[in-house]
A and B are shown apart, each in its own frame.
Chain A
Amino acid sequence: GEDVEQSLFLSVREGDSSVINCTYTDSSSTYLYWYKQEPGAGLQLLTYIFSNMDMKQDQRLTVLLNKKDKHLSLRIADTQTGDSAIYFCAEIPGSGYALNFGKGTSLLVTP
């Protein structure tokens, strides 16, 4: 299938904001998701955005969606060491109903 692209690695200092970017492939995708995976654990749904929205805010998390560019971003405000994990961007293509994942962005938060 086509690829969902993410940068592989991001390092930030504790207290700074983190921005993880993703480009997806299918302009007819209805929902776009961000998942978090801590070492050795399964995926935790962080947030999602419907394709008719530009922005969604949920506590420290802000999701921005640019449909024209098929670009999705996740901003984590006041990043903490506990936020260190791999973050996956995912879409459900319009033609299917299984998630199509990016390769994940490893976020490292340093004190």
Chain B
Amino acid sequence: GAVVSQHPSWVICKSGTSVKIECRSLDFQATTMFWYRQFPKQSLMLMATSNEGSKATYEQGVEKDKFLINHASLTLSTLTVTSAHPEDSSFYICSARDTGHPRNTIYFGEGSWLTVV
């Protein structure tokens, strides 16, 4: 089946620094990717929709200057958490839509654990 790869799986960073998370679709092209955040024992919260070659669309309440999203190619989207704070510690998951699939299926990455100390 289709694979979405996220990197890194785990990252620890100091307060005030920035960290970049990559999301790659390995065997399909994805014009649209999604970034979610998950707090412990809660459901996924959509942060933003990443569109290849254009600006991301952010959900209400998500700071676009803090969570920078770049979707420079059909197989790669990146999420950069800028000036990270401990409250940014969370599980971040990306997903990608396989528009070449007849059922328009969405596949998820394995997620990235971010801990800000």
A: residues with CB less than 8 A from B are 31, 33, 35, 40-45, 48, 50, 88, 97-99, 101-104
Q: Which residues of A contact B106 (CB under 8 A)?
A: 33, 45, 99
With A88-B44, A103-B43 known to touch, is A45 a contact of B103 (CB < 8 Å)? no
Across the A-B interface, the 6 shortest Cβ-Cβ residue pairs? A42-B110, A42-B111, A43-B108, A103-B43, A42-B108, A101-B43
Please determine whether A42 and B43 come into contact, CB atoms closer than 8 angstroms. no
Q: Give bound CA distance, A50 to B103, whole Å.
A: 8
B107 lies within 8 A of chain A by Cβ: yes
**CB < 8 Å: which of A42, A98, A99, A102 contacts B109?**
A42
Docked pose: A102 CA to B45 CA in angstroms: 10
How near does chain A come to B65, taking the closest CB pair, in angstroms? 21
Given A41-B111, A42-B111, A43-B93, the answer on whether A104 and B43 have CB atoms closer than 8 Å is yes
CB within 8 A of B105: which of A48, A88, A103?
A: A48
Contact with A along B80-117 (1 / 0, CB 8 A): 00000000000001010100000111111111010000
**Is B78 part of the contact surface with A, judged by Cβ < 8 Å?**
no
Is A31 touching B43 in the complex (CB atoms < 8 A)? no
For B105, list chain A residues within 8 Å (CB). Answer: 45, 48
Nearest Cβ in chain A — how far from B111, in angstroms?
A: 4
Q: List 25 A-B contacts (CB under 8 A).
A: A31-B103, A35-B108, A40-B113, A41-B110, A41-B111, A42-B110, A42-B111, A43-B44, A43-B93, A43-B95, A45-B1, A45-B106, A45-B107, A48-B105, A97-B32, A97-B97, A98-B34, A98-B49, A99-B44, A99-B106, A101-B44, A102-B43, A103-B42, A103-B43, A104-B43
Q: Return chain A residues, CB-CB under 8 Å to B109.
A: 42
The closest CB in chain B to the CB of A102 belongs to: B43
